[in-house]
Amino acid sequence: MPLMHFRFIGTSVHLDVPRKRMSVVENLVTIVDYQHTCYSTINAKSTLSLHDGTKIPALGLGTWKAEPSIVKEAVATAIEVDCAAIYGNERAVGEGISEGLKRAGISREDLFVTSKLWNTEHSSERILPACEQSIHDLGVKYLDLYLMHWPIAFKPGTRDVDDEIEVWETWEAMQMLKHEELVKSLGVSNFTRDQLQTLLEETDDKPSVNQVELHPYLPQPELAAFARENSIHLSAYSPLGTGVNSRETLPVLIEDPFIYTIARKHEKTPAQILIRWSIQSGFSSLPKSVTPQRIKENAQVFDFELDAEDMATIARLNTGNKFVTPDWKRTDGLTRSESEAQTEFVPYGQQ
């Protein structure tokens, strides 16, 4: 029986799901059935090892902002799914997981499911119910990976920052989820280098994963170096350089002429080049799509490698452009755009 991983950004079966909507985590898989069957061939090149011994797929499917009405089919077609409660589509993702398992003839144990803890659930008494709700909505008995979605706490029912809750306190409280056997691995998302450093200094439990925006325009070399030194795996969301909150003035990464030239050289699509860059850089990649054919196409990245010249060309594309920006309000009443330089709450502008 082939090993199968579902992964979607927003809604997924390597389920990475924040408490209110679903975002896809990462999984490395090769789809071998061009129908809607979710088979995958896993080999040494398609999985990555976390420091706790867990194997995570290198390629997944993002489901962020995917409509519940269409995400079910996307999940059923994908190999690994990355979800989040804040995406508001976990139930649809769960239906897709159930359908995908039936089509592929495999069991839950063959999947890697990730979800995420949303900002309003950071207090110790809210963490367990939030995780249990995601597990229930996804129709599974446990999560392979559970992430703290952002290094920031909101007051329940709002998007107002709660300064009374420390990130490291939330992280320590999340450890109970492993003891309750609700999750196998724990990690974080959107943490900067400095925020990871603080977490390591304040607690004894090292996160297995840090899921952040990573692509050639934003490779975050200092964060990547720190993560490698501390055996923290980086998972790349928006690997194709897209995001709902993208500013209209930003360039379109997938249309970059240098990426296009490399794609022609390898007879691949620009998306495949960007995904391959993530994998060769040591990151798991979470491209978003709700189109079955595109999902399959994005998985065809294990039959070629970018050479040294390709990687050097891509390295020169670093512009620091961010395509995903939070829009919540700070406790001082300023929005992110009004307090660009004050980044203690917002993990952008730092590495």
Q: Which amino acids are annotated catalytic?
A: 87
Q: How far apart are CA 177 and CA 132, in angstroms?
A: 9
CB count in 10 Å sphere of residue 217: 20
Give 276's DSSP letter: H
For residue 29, give the nearest of 301, 240, 324 by alpha carbon: 301
Instruction: Give the phi and the psi of residue 309 in degrees, each rounded to 5.
Output: -65, -40
For residue 18, give the nearest of 268, 340, 237, 222 by alpha carbon: 237
Q: Is 233 annotated as a binding residue?
A: no
Structure tokens at 158: 């709002």
Sign of CA dihedral 193, 198, 200, 206: negative
The residues that bridge with 329 in the sheet, in sequence order, are: 160
| Three-state SS at 235 | strand
For residue 81, give the nearest of 97, 96, 61 by alpha carbon: 61
Structure tokens at 196: 């990871």
42 backbone φψ class: left, alpha, beta (φ>0; ψ -120 to 50): beta
Residue positions counted in the chain: 351
CB count in 10 Å sphere of residue 58: 27
For residue 294, give the nearest of 61, 42, 137 by alpha carbon: 61
**Spatial CB neighbours of 118, under 8 Å, sequence gap ≥ 6:** 18, 19, 20, 21, 84, 85, 86, 130, 149, 154
Query: Alpha helix locations (H) across the chain?
Result: 68-77, 90-104, 124-138, 167-174, 176-179, 193-202, 221-229, 257-266, 270-280, 292-298, 308-315
Q: Which residues are annotated as a binding site for substrate?
A: 149
Q: Which residues are part of a known binding site? A: 149
